[in-house]
Structure 1
Amino acid sequence: MKYPFISMAVLLGVAGCQSGAPASGNASTPDPLKATLSGDACPDMGQKAYFFWMEPRSVEPGDAVALFPYWTDMPGGYNRLPPGCLGDLGVYPEGTAAFSRQEDGLAIATIGPDVQAGTRLRLDGAYNGHGLTGLVEVFRAADNPLVGTWRQEGRDCVSGSAVQELVFTGGGDFSVTWTPFEVYKDYWGSYTFDAQTGAISLTVESGNQLPEDVMPSGIATVSDGRLVFDGVSLGTPRSAAEACHGAFTK
């Protein structure tokens, strides 16, 4: 199970970037791996944490991912930096993504169309010598339609019982949150899912609020944008008298 967010120590400790593919030989074409801005346009925020995102991103082959650089000095804080100041772009494993730039200097990483589901990528960059990184987990929605963030329909449930954030990642992790706030989650763990049979099993690993009545195994069905569980219950939060069993939507 990966931690629900990248720790501040890890972010501060990023010290370099993987080199990317060399630029083409056309001298008139700017190198997309290099920053388009410098000097006063790129203020140095000092020894802060620099990052693209705090949790692994789930993407499909061929997806384009915008590389917005951020800095923070506290968990959950996002302070945007000028995107044109981002340079030294790279990806590991090498060759699994290609880079381009928008007119405003924003870097775009396009995941290779042949990258296999289950592959974990690391996208790297640098801002004024400070390293940034972002993890990407590749999946295919046809094989795992659960991936994404879901919200429970609570109109037939008691007050406070509907789950506000149920997250399934392409890397096999999940989290449950009744009252989202910044990076807070109530509990989390890993999951397995069989797309052919719909069989799902949740393994709760840790959390801040762990209901005693979680029923972790059953059938999950995704149809017409709705997720319905049969035999699975995410439990009763402290703020409610009973669990909600309503469907989920994105």
Structure 2
Amino acid sequence: MKTHAIRWLRSLLAVTMLSAPAIAGAAACAPFLDILDAARETIVLSLSRCDVRPAAAWPDPWQAPAWRLTAPAREGWRNALGHDALRTDLLAARLRARPADPALLAGPLLLRISARLPAPAAWRWDADRGEIAFAPHPSEAQACTGPGALMIWDHVVDIAPGNAVRCEVWRVERPGLQQALPADCVDRWQVEAPAAIDQQGTIRVPPDAADGSLLGVRAQIGPREVKASLRVFDPSRHPLAGRWHQTAVIACDGGERSVTAPIRELIFDAGGEFSVTREPFEAYKDYWGRYRHDPERGTITFLPKGGNQLPEAMRLSGRARLEGGTLTLEQIQLWPKQADGALCGMRFER
């Protein structure tokens, strides 16, 4: 009987010693965060205390406490959120967080600050960092909403192969009043192949992109999609494309004269459009139209089709001579009466 009791006591002690770490481990791996589906019924993602480690707080505009996921948890979240169904719910702010810590409020899980923020708190997942952060009051969320139209560009933007361009979404409340939205308002950027775009809105065009390719650009801001176009052009085939400013007029005796009211913007695009503006102000143009340029012959013709100010007695056909960053238009007058005496040309620089 005594031997049996000793054996029983040793067994109990062994079980107690083995169970203590297990119990401690269970406590350490308590639930941390569950992500529910749109109906708030099914758990689609979860994290325990063992899956996260405290990380440095995210900077403005969040000023949010953050946690870094362990490698297995990070990989699991990346895989799960890579599926279109989940990603769509995420972008629509339909997934809801259910935190175990009562100090952390429930709210939508966002890839970025959302224009549809339905609650005063939100969670954000950053796949690049492998971190999740909690923002009780994401201060810039309201900047994503408001009256007015949204645009990326008000015209087709030209870009040479091998170059990059940065996109922004602008809110236009009325003519003359526009402002760029915070970058975090954009849930997703997209551009048509062969170009690529990152989440910051930087488009990169490969060196082998074909001249004349017209690429669609899209920004997703909540339920709203903003569209723009990007045109790839070969500078050797469209040497005038770009923005020029007038530096002189050319008299018919060959002499150059300064000009007190120059054309500050002469814009050519690779699609054959031009505009002329003496005093640029936001989107204002004096007049615009199409142009025909033959680089081999050196001839150019301007064909105005509309404008706010369309000068009289213009000379619209002549020669275009390009030397480095200087453009000389001979027998051309896009804005007459710029100087006393007869004028037979204009000089511009990039």
TM-score scaled to structure 2, two decimals? Answer: 0.55
Assess, with a 3 A threshold, how the Cα gap between structure 1 residues 38 and 244 changes in structure 2: closer, same or farther.
farther
Across the aligned residues of Structure 1 and Structure 2, the Cα RMSD in angstroms comes to: 2.8
Per-residue CA deviation, residues 17-71 of structure 1 (Å, 9 max, x unaligned), is xxxxxxxxx948x98x988522534323234211112222111122212122221
Name the counterpart of 1:98.
196
- The residue that corresponds to 2:310 in the other structure is 210
Change (3 A) 1:47 1:249: same
- Counterpart CA distance in 2 for 1:137 and 1:241 is 41
Alignment correspondent of 1:135:
229
Secondary structure at the residue paired with 2:177?
coil
Letter in 2 for 1:63: N
Match of 2:266 among 166, 190, 195: 166
Where does structure 1 lack aligned partners over 5 or more consecutive residues? 1-25
In the alignment, the residues of structure 2 paired with residue 249 and residue 95 of structure 1 have an alpha-carbon distance, to the nearest angstrom, of: 34
Q: Which amino acid aligns with 2:238?
A: N
Identify the match of residue 209 of structure 2 among 110, 115, 126. 115
Label 1:218 to 1:154 Cα distance change in 2 as closer, same or farther (>3 A). closer
Q: Do the aligned residues in 2 keep the contact of 1:173 with 1:188 (CA within 8 Å)?
A: yes
Residue 201 (structure 1) shift: 1.3
Aligned structure 1 segments of 4 or more residues deviating by more than 4 angstroms: 33-36, 239-244
1:123 offset after TM fit, Å?
Answer: 0.5
| Structure 1 residues 168-183: aligned runs within 5 Å | 168-183=268-283
Partner residue in 2 for 1:38: 113
Greater RCO (Cα-Cα under 8 Å, separation 6 or more): 1
1:77-113 CA-partner distances (Å, limit 9, x unpaired): 331111133123223xx42321224xxxx22121243
Residue pair 1:190, 1:203 contacting (<8 A) in 2 also: yes
Task: Name the TM-score, length of structure 1 as normaliser.
Answer: 0.75
Contact 1:36/1:85 (<8 A) preserved? no
- Paired with 1:71 and 1:139, the residues of 2 have a C-alpha distance of 28
Change (3 A) 1:77 1:111: farther
- Seq. identity, %: 30
Cα distance in 2 for residues equivalent to 1:119 and 1:131: 22
Q: Would you say the 8 A contact 1:42–1:128 is kept in 2?
A: no
Shift in alpha-carbon separation, 1:76–1:140, aligned structure 2, 3 A: farther
Q: Which residue of 2 aligns with 1:249?
A: 349
Aligned length: 215
* 8 Å Cα contact 2:242-2:267 kept in structure 1: yes
* Aligned equivalents of 1:78, 1:137: Cα separation in 2: 24
Q: Offset at 1:244?
A: 8.3
Could you tell me which residue of structure 2 aligns to residue 48 of structure 1? 148
Q: 1:111 to 1:245 in 2, by over 3 A?
A: same
**Other-structure match for 2:122:** none
Larger radius of gyration: 2
**As a proportion of its length, which structure holds more helix?**
2
The equivalent residue for 1:231 is: 331
Query: CA 1:133–1:64 in 2, change beyond 3 Å: closer, same or farther?
Result: same
